[in-house]
Amino acid sequence: MVLRRAAAAAGDCPKKVAKLVDLVNLPTALREFAGGQSQMSHLSFFLRVWSHIKNNNLQESQHWQIQAAKRPHYIYHQSSAMASE
């Protein structure tokens, strides 16, 4: 649905929309979160992240902030280990 809207809006600003729907290679740390997919569009990954947040009640209802204590730690631990190399 969202991808269709993005494609329909391509006439207005095609470069911006193209960057949202173009496939990009995911780093190894994000592949597990993306269901094992090695490529995904920015928009699809964004939708997957928000559905994960909503399904696991990670957003505070009063302040609309993400609860950092419940983040998927495998993503953050691997990325911090990669940064120290």
If pLDDT is split at 50, 70 and 90, which confidence band does 80 have?
Answer: very low
Whether 83 shows a pLDDT value over 60: the answer reads no
Q: Which residue has the higher pLDDT, 35 or 81?
A: 35
Question: How far out from the chain centre does Cα 18 lie?
Answer: 16
Q: Model confidence over 33-42: pLDDT tens digits? A: 888 889 998 8
Long-range contact list for 80-84, CB < 8 A, 24+ apart? 82/29
Say whether pLDDT at 51 is over 80: yes
Token pair of 49, please?
Answer: 């992240």
Burial group, residue 5, by CB count within 10 angstroms (0-12, 13-18, 19+):
exposed
Beta bridge partner(s), residue 41 = 23
The token pair that represents 85 in the structure block: 């190399």
